[in-house]
Amino acid sequence: MRKLRFLLTAFLVLALSLTASAHPGKLDKNGGHFNKETGEYHYHKGPNALESLELRRNTVYKAKIERVVDGDTAIVSFLFDDGSKYLKERVRFLGVDTPETVHPNKPVQYYGKEASNFTKKSLEGKTVWLQTDVGVKDRYDRMLAYVWLKEPTERDLDDEAVIRKHMFNARLLLDGYAQLMTIQPNSRYANIFVHLQREARQEKKGLWGKDPE
């Protein structure tokens, strides 16, 4: 009996050591962390871990917009194919920066309310597809994503005409609700976004229309 207990204890210790070496790093408040070897964020506990979800680079996830925080930030719930929901995430839209409306240390900026209202009207309660780039989270623990209004195909991901029509980040730039903001290494659509912002400025759309009074 003692020999059996010893063998079981040795097995558990070995299993724990292998797990620790395969997934180095402490867990954050969501029960996940960045893998030091791959740079990917993944979960070890909580609802996400139960379903084996990992936030991977250059991947598209189906989600529902639960609440819009401001023009470029929202709270989402990821969706399974059967429509069930699980752990919510705060998502910061990649490549764009809308005027502030909820910053604790800044006043509401020019065209901020218009941008926030546009995002609420366009996204709240809607099903979207979130595409990650190289970095999947920022220093504030927000997921970073391009927001698609319809599920993109592999071909859509590189088609500027489709991006203009169905990627919400692009719509924010085209309609003058946001300015370009590229933070490396997330620059997959930087060149396209430069053209979209230039187009909005030339046509004096949104925040490019006139100076604030």
Per-residue pLDDT of 179-205, as tens digits, reads 999 999 999 999 999 999 999 999 999
Sign of CA dihedral 83, 87, 90, 91: negative
In contact, 11 and 4? CB cutoff 8 Å? no
CA atoms within 13 A on the CB side of 165: 10
How far apart are the C-alpha atoms of 94 and 131, rounded to whole Å? 9
Residue 11 host element (H or E): helix 2-22
Q: Between vectors from CA 110 to CA 165 and to CA 143, what angle results, nearest 5°?
A: 55
pLDDT at 72 exceeding the cut of 70: yes
Per-residue pLDDT of 105-119, as tens digits, reads 777 778 889 999 999
Average confidence (pLDDT) over 171-183: 97
Identity (one letter) of the amino acid at 123? L
pLDDT band at 81 (very low <50, low <70, confident <90, very high): low
Model confidence, pTM: 0.73
142 tagged catalytic: yes
Local structure of 16: helix, strand or coil: helix
> What value does the mean pLDDT of the chain take?
81
Rg of the chain over all Cα atoms, to the nearest angstrom: 21
- Across-strand partners of 143? 91, 137
The region of weakest confidence among 56-60, 65-69, 108-112, 170-174 is 108-112
Task: Out of 92, 114, 171, 188, pick the active-site residue.
Answer: 92
Strand arrangement of the beta sheet that strand 54-55 belongs to: 32-34, 41-43, 54-55
Task: Out of 56, 57, 67, 142, pick the active-site residue.
Answer: 142
143-148 and 85-93 strand pairing? parallel
Nearest to 70 by CA among 94, 88, 95, 97: 97
5 tagged catalytic: no
| Domains (range + CATH), the chain | 27-208 (2.40.50.90)
What is the pLDDT at residue 109?
78
What is the pLDDT at residue 144?
96
100 tagged catalytic: yes
